Amino acid sequence: MTRPAVTPDPGDTGTDHHHDDHEDEGYRGPATLDVDGTEYAVEVQLLGHFQPLDGWYHWYGRVSAHAGLDAALGGKKAAARITTPQGAADGELSDVDPWGRYRVAGTSTPPFSVGAPTDADAHTPAGAA
């Protein structure tokens, strides 16, 4: 049996999405990173989504290149508190890209506003306080 040819969507970026794009929430703008008691004023680009498989909200993104942060971490992973005008959350800095931007990621309440909660968002995973 021959399968019909599929015409690619011209707006498709080739990424595999397992959830609707409208579920993504995000923030782009100024933030403060607190790493081991030292604060760094940075720019961030953050996204996130609720993952029904584990019942958590996952947020992630990149921190703009910052000489002081790079000097302190030297490309190593570090725990950080990230604060935006919309909120604050604990996450992890890791994976420096070729442009000197650290990846930041966290689980649970993100440091930015998200849309109205749904019934699925109200789920609290076992063991969560």
8: pLDDT strictly greater than 80:
no
Per-residue pLDDT tens for 66-125?
999 999 999 999 999 999 999 999 999 999 999 999 999 999 899 999 875 544 444 444
Q: Over the chain, what is the mean pLDDT?
A: 80
- Among 20, 86, 94, 97, smallest CA distance to 60 is for 94
Task: Specify the 3-state DSSP secondary structure of 68.
Answer: helix
Which residue intervals of 1-129 are DSSP H helices?
A: 67-73
pLDDT band at 24 (very low <50, low <70, confident <90, very high): low
Q: Averaged over 22-31, what is the pLDDT?
A: 80
Return the closest-CA partner of residue 63 out of 86, 40, 88, 85: 40
- The share of the chain scoring above pLDDT 70, in percent, equals 71
Rounded to whole angstroms, the Cα distance separating 62 from 47 reads: 9
Q: Are 43 and 29 in contact (CB under 8 A)?
A: yes
pLDDT per position as a tens digit, 83-100: 999 999 999 999 999 999
Torsion sign (Cα): 9, 15, 18, 24 = negative
Residue 91: per-residue pLDDT? 97
Answer whether residue 41 shows pLDDT above 80: yes
